[in-house]
Amino acid sequence: MITRSRFIVALGLAILLVTSAGCTDSLNAGPLSYVDNDALTHELKGKANLAGKPALQAKVRAALARIFGESPQRIRVPENSGFPSGGLSLANFRQVGEGESARIEPIYHQLPDGRPDPNHRQTGGYGLYRRNCLHCHGVSGAGDGPTAAFLFPPPRDFRKGIYKFTSTPSGARPHRDDLTRTIRDGLSGTSMPAFDALMTPSEIQQAVDYVIFLSMRGETELALIEEGSISDENDTEALGEEILKELTAGVFDRWKSAQTQVMNPTIPRTKSDHESVIRGRDLFLGRTKEKLECAGCHGALAKGDGPSFVPVDVFNMVVFGGDPSTRPERVDALDETLKTLWNQKPDDWGNPLRPANLVKGVFKGGRRPIDIFWRIAKGINGAQMPAHYPTLNEAQIWDLVNFVLALPYDPDLLASPPPMPRPKLAEAGASR
């Protein structure tokens, strides 16, 4: 449901939406509550936190409730957050008016002429998320849903605002189309399914809005924790209104600016002929003046076994060799060289990384030529795949795209070069 209510003078008006969870026509019975970021209450090594600062913890919770709503059932959409139609797609009811005169109205799908369709009430992003996404990604978008422990790679934690497979510059927030593709088409080789057959295009956009909402809320929470970590617990001015205004504006602006930052190539794709594929192969193998080090991660035969990472059998033993909760024990059992290498290769969420086996032709972020172009040109956010533009020009990137797409059908492209010598550490074995 949506209402207008002034929640912070510095932040202006907000829209209040109400969801139907817990009502007789709810998608799932029972209300839900947001889950605090661990950094709000726990001391985390190397990370800003508010452990031992209960007054500042309370301020963060209160600020999040005023800005984004006190629970998933009562969503506030801050002004200037950039949601289409003022955020109406986030829920299935809206509150109109305030106080005793307030009333709750359903939100309907729109007819082609823009009028509401009284026969089709929308589910809303929260309802769709709760039905389809929450069991993996969790109530607050932390990737901690009840099925998350059984999945690898783990479900994405939205709270940092970092998404791996985007069309925007390295480090930027994703474009809406990036999130639409992920929800609609899924991520090949992962547990993220395609929802194209389960949601209408309108419903997918509702889910996109709710994912962005969770990201904005999570980013704001982290920004407040970081600010509070350098503040005095007894300072009554800490985390005041001006700071809230500045931090939230920064979060919203990053998302809004990303919608105009798509890195579309300025030249068409090079024809995928033999000459282009061979030029791409030479780039991959570091035979050109640019001296790329693709094989250092992906391996001389592009099987994801380069010497910059632990051997595949070691990786599989640690990741899949038992209960995920005992994974640190399996890491501790490695010899010191392998352990050091392992600890150098987590993603930004602390999960173990593995370079793609390009011979398999399974590309998580999509296998269209433009998808591969983006992976090479701008890298993969949160991972250790670097951006190669402008080190490479667009024509060279298209040559690499043609090579990568040709390789699964012609693995002999890399059969002639001898395998790269692996450092001694790879022969050390998986355990003491």
Q: How many independent structural domains does the chain possess?
A: 2
- Over the stretch 99-121, which tens digit does the pLDDT of each residue have? 888 899 999 988 888 788 888 89
The reply to whether 36 and 93 lie within a common domain is yes
**Cα gap 105→413, rounded to integer Å:** 62
Sequence-distant (6+) residues with CB within 8 A of 147 are 135, 136
- Give the model confidence (pLDDT) of 384-416 as tens digits: 999 999 999 999 999 999 999 999 999 999 986
Identify the domain containing residue 340 by its residue range: 274-427
pLDDT tens-digit series, residues 241-263: 999 999 999 999 999 999 999 99
7-60 pLDDT per residue, tens: 332 333 467 788 764 343 444 557 899 999 999 999 998 899 999 999 999 999
Whether residues 45 and 82 share a domain: the answer is yes
Q: Could you say which of 258, 283, 310 is where a domain stops?
A: 258
Q: What percent of the chain shows pLDDT beyond 70? A: 91
Q: Can you give the pLDDT at residue 196? A: 97
Weakest mean pLDDT among 57-71, 320-334, 364-378, 384-398: 320-334
pLDDT of residue 209 exceeding 80, the answer is yes
Please state, as a whole number, how many other Cβ atoms lie within 10 Å of the Cβ of residue 429. 12
Over its C-alpha atoms, the chain yields an Rg (Å, rounded) of 24
307 — pLDDT class (breaks 50, 70, 90): very high
Same domain? 202 vs 63: yes
| Together in a domain, 180 and 81 | yes
Q: Answer whether residue 63 is part of any domain.
A: yes
Instruction: Assess whether 227 and 285 both reside in one domain.
Output: no
Same domain, 289 and 227: no
Residue 182's CB is within 10 A of a number of other CB atoms, namely: 25
Are 342 and 352 within 8 A, CB to CB?
yes
Whether 150 and 280 map to the same domain: the answer is no
